Every structure is written in structure tokens, then in C-alpha cells.
Amino acid sequence: MKIGAFCLLVLTTAAAFPQDGSLQIDPQLLAHINTTPAIDNHTHVEKVTGPGEKDTEFDALPCPENEPALTPAMARSDIPELFSAWHALYGYNFRDFSPQHLAELAASKQQVRQREGDNFPAWALDQFRTSIMFANRINMGRGLTAPRFRWVPYDDALMYPLNNDGLKAENPDRRFFFGREETILKSYIQQSGLSAVPDTLDGYLKQVVTPTLERQKHAGAVAIKFEMAYLRSLEVRRVDEAAAARAYESLHSRSLTGADTPAYQELQDYILAYLAGEAGRLGLALHFHTGFGCGSYFKLAGANPLLLEELLDNPELRKTTFVLIHGGWPWSGEMATLLTKPNVYTDTSEQSWLLPAATFAPVLRLLLEFAPEKVMFGTDLYGADEPIGAEGGNPGVSVGWEDVGWIAGRRVRNALAMALSGMVRDGEVTPARAREIASLVLNGNASKLYGLIP
């Protein structure tokens, strides 16, 4: 973004919110927040693609389309914030979705992508002042190179090495999700030099699980991601090795029935604890989806971050870092208390896309009042598949990941300014401490946790 336009954004944003006390923003604090580069802890950034090519690796479990749930209003493709994003990124000078104007925007988007080529992802980061972005992807791709982009691969598939037909039968979403996980596990097994799952649990852990984590670490991964809440409850119990080995041996060579579900879940719990221990040994953080999720069959009650408490309290996993992404919303209070544990962190991702800044600000303030050293900037940006204005022969315009990233990032910065301004006004922190906390959230906490240089 050009400096002049960015400074104008700083001034106009401060004036855009009603000065009613609860939303009043300190303009100097906002200026500090808007000019501080961020480390984005959680995204689904897309690689650069060629003509006719589609990126299918930006999420292990993309939202199912056969029975879609209602999209929350603030995350839809008709929000006015899109006009601001398009203006900042592409010089869009209109505040409408007319076919003529969208055609001009589509041409501008294409021109920028052609001009930037493989540098487009880095160009986008520069526009919304992000220095480093974590890419939750099955594999990295064109344009997503270190040091600006850091890999966070998906490892849920390693938890489900046996027959998953019973789990697939629960609902259409899980049938789709487990099909994806089985494909990923098959690739991990092949990369480990095997053609099938080993006969014993010890063989599976040592020949597939550990080598997979080591390959990911060697390829530059900084963390591993679990979308477990889409597949089962987050509730995890401690299981001893002997019981897990017996379950593996008795279940691995046959089709499973409903009666086998408890034993299979115990096996999953043991494998997850093993994964967490190996990740700690390798210096990989564990990222868990917590809170609200997409899909009409998503079981929200099973996504409460408190369900992970037994795993978090395992004394054998104190060298493992757990990042409970999305702030656990709507369980923000529960998340705040979990942050007092020595190896637990969270971020602002997803909430900043679901909630406008004024609604997110008190949520963020609660987290900051408990543990400001444990909260990290995140957007959960992604690209929308369905184009806007695609009717009457008009191709329309797709909402790109860069558009979502610009909007979500601005919401986080504005909410952060509101929350900290309120804390200063109420005598909870000094102005200097507010600026310090802002820097911690934007990049300091992530920099320290992952050993990065913004």
C-alpha cells in the first residue's frame, strides 16, 4: 500500500468509530498498531496457479458444499468492507457491484497477478503489512517461500490408521472429511516407503508417524495442524501404551462396528499423545481448531477448548507447545483461563472474519486482560470459490485470499486498538504498556514462540 493511502487509512479509521466511550480509540495507539508489521499465525493462503489450474491443497478439510450451512453475515461476499479492500489493493473507486465496475476490477486483479507472477503472495503481504504468514496447507506451492511464508501441515490423518467406514457413516460431512484424511494418510505411508499400515502399533508409530513429522520439520514446518473437531470431539483421555497396542492389534485387520468405537477412540487418543510428544521433541507446535466451525453437521459442543485440558495437563508433554487457534470462540472465557497454563497459546484468527471489530474488541480484551503474552495475530484468510456478480453472462469477480486477509487484518487491528484504548481509559494499563501489548500481539509473541525474526 502506498504510504499516503496508508496514512489516510489510519486517520479515517479512527474517525469511523463512534466516540461513545466503549469504542473510543486513542489515535496514537491506532497509528502504532497500523504501522506495526504482523506475523499471521493462521491462514489458508493459496499458491500461485497457472491457467486452468486450481489450488486444492489450501485446506485438508475444506467446507463441504452438498449441504452448506448459513454463512455468518459478516463473512459474506456482500459486505461493504470489500470496497475498502479492493480500493486499497487494486484502486477500486466504487462502492457498488455493478457488472461494469466488477469487470474493471477483474481486469485490475488479473493485471496485478500477471505483473507480480510468483511474487504475488509476497506483494499481497506487503499491502496489509504482514511480515510473515503461516500457511496451513497439505503442501506448499508456487510463491509460498520462506522466510515470508512458513508451513503448517495437517496431521489429523495420522490419528486414523484403521477402517473408518463407521465414522464416515455418521453424516455426509464426515464421509467427505474421512475420505480426504484417508488420501492424506496413504500419501504419508507411501512417503515412508511402505505400501500399507504396519501390523503393530509400535511399527506404525516408528515407521510412519515419526518419519512423517521428521520430514515435515526438515521441509520447514514450524507447527502441525489438527482439524480434529471436524472429525470427533476434542475430548482426549490418557491411555497407556499396552491398552493402545492391544486395541491396534485387535482392530487393524478387520472392518469395525459401532461396538469398536470406544476402543478406536482410545487408540486415537494414544496416537495423539504420541504425536504431541514427538512434536515437542522436534520443536513443532501443535495447532488445534477450537470453537465455531463450518458445515451444517459441525458439532460445536465437541469443539470447546476445555475438552483438551487432560492433554494440556499431561506432565510428559510440557515440552510441547499447544496453540488453540480461533480463540475458542464462543468459549472466550474458557480460553482465557487456559492461557494461564505454561505451554498454551491462542490467536485472533477466524473471529476477525466472523465478527466486526466492535463486537470482537471485548472478546479480545478479555484475552488480553488474562494473558497478553499468549495471544497472537491471525486472520484465517482464504479465497472464496463463488464469484460476485456472475450472472447474465458476466463472469463476476472472485473474492481472493488477499481481499479476505486485508479485511480480517484491519478488523484485528481496529479491535486491538479498541480493546487497549479501553484498558488504558479504565486504568488497567499505561499508554506505554498498551503499545507494548499491541506489539506483542502483532508479532512479538509469535516471534518468541517460533523463534522468528519479523
What number of CA atoms fall less than 13 Å from residue 278's CA on the CB side? Answer: 21
Three-state secondary structure call for residue 131: strand
pLDDT given for residue 272 in this prediction: 98
123: buried, middle or exposed (CB in 10 Å: 19+, 13-18, 0-12)?
middle
What number of CA atoms fall less than 13 Å from residue 182's CA on the CB side? Answer: 13
pLDDT in tens, the chain (454 residues): 333 333 334 333 443 444 455 568 999 999 999 999 999 999 999 999 999 899 999 999 999 887 888 889 999 888 999 999 999 999 999 999 999 999 999 999 999 999 999 999 999 999 999 999 999 999 999 999 999 999 999 999 999 999 999 899 999 999 999 999 999 999 999 999 999 999 999 999 999 999 999 999 999 999 999 999 999 999 999 999 999 999 999 888 777 766 678 899 999 999 999 999 999 999 999 999 999 999 999 999 999 999 999 999 999 999 999 999 999 999 999 999 999 999 999 999 999 899 999 999 999 999 999 999 999 999 999 997 678 877 777 788 989 999 999 999 999 999 999 999 999 999 999 999 999 999 999 999 999 999 997 6
pLDDT given for residue 13 in this prediction: 42
Task: Classify the phi-psi angles of 105: left when phi > 0, otherwise alpha if psi is within -120 to 50, otherwise beta.
Answer: alpha
The pTM of the whole model exceeds 0.85:
yes
pLDDT given for residue 384 in this prediction: 78
pLDDT given for residue 23 in this prediction: 65
pLDDT given for residue 324 in this prediction: 98
CATH number at residue 89: 3.20.20.140
Number of domains in the chain: 1
Domain of 39, in residue numbers = 3-450
pLDDT given for residue 390 in this prediction: 75
Using CA atoms, how far residue 54 sits from 35, 58, 151, 232, 286, in Å, is 34, 10, 19, 29, 28
In our burial notation (b when 16+ CB lie closer than 10 A, e otherwise), range 333-365 reads ebbbebbeeebbbbbbbbbbbbbebeebbebbb
